């Protein structure tokens, strides 16, 4: 059995940039539609919408739009599809890993660069990887998965 290593290339950086843009715009629209005067409620709507973008797309399709555009997907360490629990862990760890108030994306970036399987902290805890779909097809040529 071959050991999968996560993607650390430009595709992952661009996918993260695309997804952060989409999730941020979606969250701002949601706050605007919520039309609340309470900052705490507005902040909660913003955070929940932003995190839901990643949770919903990865839980349903194992990839976000940014990952799809860049040919990436989230999978278990063995290359099979992640369960909801792993996706939930990945998503919740974004509160720490890519929080603009807590060092931006520095924890996630450092974790990807310093771990041998190239995983974010959320990937490590959720036992998941972000890999190129091309790598997955090479490993299982008959299935396309």
Q: Which pLDDT belongs to residue 125? A: 97
Bridge partners of 74, per DSSP, are: 130
pLDDT value for 103 = 80
Scan for tokens 């799809």, then name that residue. 68
Spell out the domain ranges in the chain: 10-139
Is the distance from CB of 126 to CB of 87 less than 8 angstroms? yes
3 state DSSP class of 5: coil
Instruction: Please state whether the predicted TM-score (pTM) of the whole model is above 0.75.
Output: yes
- pLDDT tens digits for 4-45? 999 988 999 999 999 999 999 999 999 999 999 999 999 999
DSSP string computed for 50-75: HHHHHHHHHHHHSS-HHHHHHTEEEE
């Amino acid at each position: 059995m071959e050991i999968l290593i996560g993607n650390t290339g430009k595709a992952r950086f661009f996918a993260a940039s695309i997804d952060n843009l989409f999730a941020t715009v979606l969250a701002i629209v949601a706050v605007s539609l919520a039309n609340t005067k309470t900052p705490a409620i507005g902040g909660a709507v913003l955070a929940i919408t932003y995190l839901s973008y990643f949770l919903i797309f990865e839980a349903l399709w194992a990839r976000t739009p940014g990952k799809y555009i860049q040919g990436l997907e989230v999978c278990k360490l063995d290359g099979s599809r992640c369960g909801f629990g792993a996706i939930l862990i990945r998503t919740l760890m974004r509160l720490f890993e890519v929080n603009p108030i807590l060092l931006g994306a520095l924890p996630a970036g450092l974790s990807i660069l310093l771990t041998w399987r190239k995983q974010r902290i959320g990937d490590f805890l959720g036992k998941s990887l972000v890999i190129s779909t091309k790598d997955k097809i090479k490993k299982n040529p008959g299935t396309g998965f």
